[in-house]
Amino acid sequence: VPYLVGAVDADAFRELTLHGATAYLTPLARDAAYAFNPSNSHDSNSWVRFARMRTGEVARIVRLGYAVMHSDTDVAWLRDPSPFLLCRDAASDAAGGGAAGARCSALREADVAVSSDNMSPGEDLRIGAAYAAGGTLNTGLLFVRPTAAGTAFATRWHETVSSPPPGKRFAPPGCCTSDQQVFGRMVRVGGGYPGLAPPAGAPTGGRLLRADGNLTLGSLPLALFMNGHSYFVQRAHERLGVAPFAVHATYTLDTHEGGAKAQRFREAGLWRADPPPPQGERFLAYNFSEPPEVAARRAEYARRGLSAANVDVHLSALEAYVAAACGRA
């Protein structure tokens, strides 16, 4: 996957280049006094400076005429999204797997396309951008095209993060210590909720939304640009028979800190940063088979025409696994 990593400090830059990564020093890396605070509250002075810097870097690259796929560092890329994102020919539609709700042609007119924290990749494929409009937009996976509207939006996003205008739209509560919060307020018409809707006459499953200003906003298919719950918990890609481009380690417990996210990737076989294990190291085997009582509960929901992805089934599974573990102890 072609990529460019913006290093926030000199040590990260040295480590990246040592391993052959394509990286550069961001403006913050040139400030010896800067120390990044990755707190999930996103309200520290260092985080605000970081948000200003990264939105500025996105805007700067887009103004140079490049399309930018902006990615958080807690995203694992599984395959190259370029054919899908650039969508230069009819054959590119197959890059998404061929599902009607995952065709790149449905996003070709988007100036900006963003991922979602919504919970159902299946509903997202069926309903399209209208489903994403009602949830939280996640700028951890954000695609910006160098169209006139896309370039203007990227510049205005950086300016708004750097110096929010007066008034209620960008004022507390709920705004605006992070670039994602600013993004959400900017694209929703009037800054209100939901403030987004498909264009008039758009087909069901379309991936475009009318956003505030002269912007066409696209919704990246959740089945292809997956959040943590969809991939790690639901394993929805297996059920839907799709090959995701990326996995974002959202919906991670332990205050979303790095160690917990690394473990999530490790358990899914997506973590490649561990050193080789010592010779003779022993491991605990994990039985992933489904307990009979859980299978019965799932079948009951299926018989009633309801989704088995609910709290009742999760609790049944938890009880069965705890009982099995206690029985072996």
> What are the tens digits of pLDDT across the range 30-61?
888 888 776 666 777 888 899 999 999 999 99
From 41-45, 76-80, 145-149, the region with the lowest mean pLDDT:
41-45
> What are the tens digits of pLDDT across the range 1-24?
778 999 999 999 999 999 999 999
Q: In what order do the strands lie in the sheet with 225-226?
A: 75-77, 246-248, 225-226
> What are the tens digits of pLDDT across the range 251-305?
987 666 788 899 999 999 999 888 887 787 776 666 667 888 899 999 999 999 9
Q: Tell me which residue of 49, 276, 273, 59 sits closest to 156, measured CA to CA.
A: 59
More confident residue, 155 or 318: 155
What percentage of the chain has pLDDT greater than the value 70? Answer: 94
Residue 249: CB atoms within 10 Å = 25
Residue 286: CB atoms within 10 Å = 6
Residue 229: CB atoms within 10 Å = 18
Contact of 196 with 210, CB cutoff 8 Å: yes
Structure tokens at 189: 């018409």
Instruction: Give the pTM.
Output: 0.83
Burial of 263 (0-12, 13-18, 19+ CB in 10 A): middle
- 99: alpha, beta or left? (left if phi > 0; alpha if psi -120 to 50): beta
pLDDT at 329: 39
Contact of 221 with 96, CB cutoff 8 Å: yes
Structure tokens at 112: 């900006």
pLDDT at 155: 97
Contact of 133 with 244, CB cutoff 8 Å: no
320 pLDDT tier (thresholds 50, 70, 90): confident
Query: What are the helix (H) ranges across 9-127?
Result: 10-18, 45-63, 82-86, 121-127
More confident residue, 293 or 171: 293
Structure tokens at 283: 């491991």
> What are the tens digits of pLDDT across the range 91-115?
788 888 767 788 999 999 999 999 9
The whole-number average pLDDT for the span 200-220 is: 91
